[in-house]
Amino acid sequence: MVGFLVRRLLSTVLVLIGVSILVFLIMQLVPGDPVRSMLGQAATAERVTEVRHQLGLDRPLIVQYLDWILGVLHGDLGQSLTLSQPVSSILFPKLGNTMILAGGSLLICLVIGVPLGMVAARRQYSVVDRGSMFVALGGASVPVYWAGLVIINIFALKLGWFPTSGMYDTRNPGGFEDVLVHLVLPSVAAAVVPTAVVARMARGSMVEALHADHVQMLRASGVPERLVIWKHTLRNILPPVVNIVGLQAGYLLGGVIFVEVVFNWPGLGGQLYTSITAGDMPMIQAGVLFIALVFVVVNLVTDVAVALLDPRTRKEA
């Protein structure tokens, strides 16, 4: 177990370094010039060069990169070029917000996706099955920026149940409850795709589990269907489900960008999008690094959990 963890963490570090290099290289190619976009229409060439120099953007790439990576190793993520703020002071809150959103969506996709998949599997090829799978699939096949607006229109405008967008009330921002009310619609919108994936996945493994020999043995021993399903089979599909849910958690971190835009949720995705278009190197670097880190950690946790969940692999893990 320990060796396994050590190996994984080591590879994580390598991956992260790789990511930072990859991002750095890609971003060199983005047309956006942070200084230009900072100084706006009236910028003159001479001023631009002056600012570039002040920001050290006129140094050779490798120097810029090493300088940045050294900073990171000292816990300094650097300054945002366009917002002239410490990257951490902007990214940490946004990462938090994205995690809240992702968490909400994950909850939904667990509570709905797994049972949906199981029910579908119980009545394989039935109307229920086809129907629910079609719904799940349909959800994943709609452009979020369109569906999101429809959701807003119905639940925020027509019914007035939830706020249209944002994270806090505008006039008197509240605490947890306030966030919760604002969280509902975006997390539903963000949950659609993962729920679909999880439901289909759950259905798949459920079908498999139901055809397992031991299920027949249980039935032959007079174990009631209720127990067969909700005790034995559920336990059997737990590892694959946990696994897929873990993957979705990773996806949600970067995949909710459209939801963030439509519901004006101040998350990492939206921030990174603007930073990318503005070529704001330090922001993108740090942001992607965060996501990558969380991503890798989530995967690690998932793998360990799966390993622990299955008695057959528990020892090896």
Partner 1 sequence: MVLSGKRLRQLSAVVIALALLAACGGPSASSGASGTPHSGGTLAIGIESEVDVLDPQRAGGWVSWRVNRQMFEPLVDEDLSKPSAQAAVPALRPGLATSWELSPDGTVYTFHIRPNVKFHDGTPLDAAAVEFNIRRMWDKSFQYYDAKAAGQTNFVWQPLKSIATPDPMTLQLTMKQPFEPFLRLLSQGGNGSTGIMSPASIKQYGNDNVGEHPVGTGPFKFVDRVRGQRITLARNDDYWGTKPYLDKVVFRPLPDPSSRVASLRANEVDMIAVPPPDSVASLQQSGFQVSEGAPPHVWFLSFNFNDPIMKNKLVRQAINLAIDRQGMATNLLKDTVKPAYDVQAPANAAYVANTEAYGYNPDKAKQLLAQAGYPNGFSTVMMTSVDGSGQIIPVPMAEYIQQNLAKVGIQIQLQTTEWISYLSKWAQGTPPGVGWAQQSWGMTTPYWLYIVTSSSLKAPNGPNVGGYSNPQLDQVMQQAMTATTEAGAVEKWKEANRIVTDDAAIAPIVNDKAPYILSSKVHGFVSPSEEWYDLNTVWLS
Partner 2 sequence: MTTATLTQPAATAWRRRSQFRLATRALARDKVAVGALVVLTLVVLVAIFAPLISPYDPLVGDPTIRLLPPGTPGHLLGLDGQGRDILSRLIWGGRYSLSVAIVPVLCAGVVALVLGMVAGYFGGRWGELVMRVLDVVFAFPIVLFAIAIAAVLGPGLVNSMLAIGITLVPYMARVVYTATVQESGKDYVEAARAAGLTEVEILGKQLLPNVLSPLVVYATTLAGLVIVLAAGLSFLGVGITPPAPDWGVMTSDGRQVLLEGYAHVATIPGLMIFIVAIAFNLLGDGIRDALDPHKQTGSRN
Partner 3 sequence: MTNDPLLKVTGLRTHFSSEHGTVKAVDGVDFQIERGGILGVVGESGSGKSVTGLSILRLLGSRNATIAGGQILFHGEDLLTKSDREMREIRGKKISMVFQNAMTALDPFFRVGDQLVEVIRLHQRVGKREAKLKALEAMELVRIPEASRRLSSYPHQLSGGQRQRVMIALALSCGPDLLIADEPTTALDATVQKQIIDLLAEVNRELGTAILMITHDFGVVARLCRTVAVMYAGKIVESGEVARVLEKPEDPYTQKLLGSVLRMRSEVRRVSA
Question: Which of partner 3, partner 1, partner 2, none interacts with 70 (beta carbon under 5 to 8 A by kind)?
Answer: none
**Closest separation in Å from C-beta 214 to partner 3:** 4
59 Cβ contact list (under 8 Å, min separation 6): 67
96 binds partner 3 (CB under 8 A): no
**Closest separation in Å from C-beta 194 to partner 3:** 25
Q: Tokens standing for 41?
A: 């229409």
The 10 Å Cβ neighbour count of residue 11 is 12
270 binds partner 1 (CB under 8 A): yes
Q: Tokens standing for 95?
A: 């990462």
175 binds partner 1 (CB under 8 A): no
**Closest separation in Å from C-beta 237 to partner 3:** 10
Question: Which of partner 1, partner 2, partner 3, none interacts with 45 (beta carbon under 5 to 8 A by kind)?
Answer: partner 1
Interior angle at CA 110, CA 197 and CA 163, nearest 5: 100
27 binds partner 1 (CB under 8 A): no
18 binds partner 1 (CB under 8 A): no
Q: Tokens standing for 74?
A: 């000292």
Stretch that binds partner 1, among 203-211, 249-257, 263-271, 286-294 (CB under 8 A): 263-271
Q: How far apart are CA 22 and CA 285, in angstroms?
A: 10
Give the residue, chosen from 46, 73, 312, 316, that forms a contact with partner 3 under the rule CB under 8 A: 312
Location of structure tokens 């229109």: 153
Question: Which of partner 2, partner 1, partner 3, none interacts with 83 (beta carbon under 5 to 8 A by kind)?
Answer: partner 1
Give the residue, chosen from 219, 230, 277, 301, that forms a contact with partner 3 under the rule CB under 8 A: 219
Element (H, E) at 32: none
Question: Which of partner 1, partner 2, partner 3, none interacts with 47 (beta carbon under 5 to 8 A by kind)?
Answer: partner 1
DSSP, res 141: T
Binding site for partner 2 (CB under 8 A): 11, 14-16, 18-19, 22-23, 26-27, 29-32, 130, 134, 137-138, 140-146, 149-150, 153, 157, 211, 250-251, 253-255, 257-258, 261, 269, 272-273, 276-277, 284, 288, 291-292, 295-296
Question: Which of partner 2, partner 1, partner 3, none interacts with 220 (beta carbon under 5 to 8 A by kind)?
Answer: partner 3
Q: Smaller CB distance to partner 3: residue 129 or 280?
A: 129
Question: Which of partner 1, partner 2, partner 3, none interacts with 223 (beta carbon under 5 to 8 A by kind)?
Answer: partner 3
Q: Smaller CB distance to partner 2: residue 229 or 278?
A: 278
Residue closest to 18 by CA, chosen among 246, 296, 298, 302: 296
Q: Smaller CB distance to partner 1: residue 103 or 266?
A: 266
The 10 Å Cβ neighbour count of residue 125 is 9
Contact 177/163 with Cβ under 8 angstroms? no
Q: DSSP of 68-137, one letter per residue? A: HHHHHHTT---B-TTT-SBHHHHHHHHHHHHHHHHHHHHHHIIIIIHHHHHHHHHTTTSHHHHHHHHHHH
242 Cβ contact list (under 8 Å, min separation 6): 302, 305, 306, 309
- Please state, in angstroms and as integers, the Cα–Cα distance from residue 32 to each residue in 53, 225, 241, 281, 300, following that order: 17, 61, 42, 10, 35
What are the residues binding partner 1 (CB under 8 A)?
Answer: 30-48, 50-51, 53-54, 79, 82-85, 89-90, 93-94, 149, 152-153, 156-157, 159-173, 176-177, 180-181, 184, 261-264, 266, 270-271, 274, 277-279
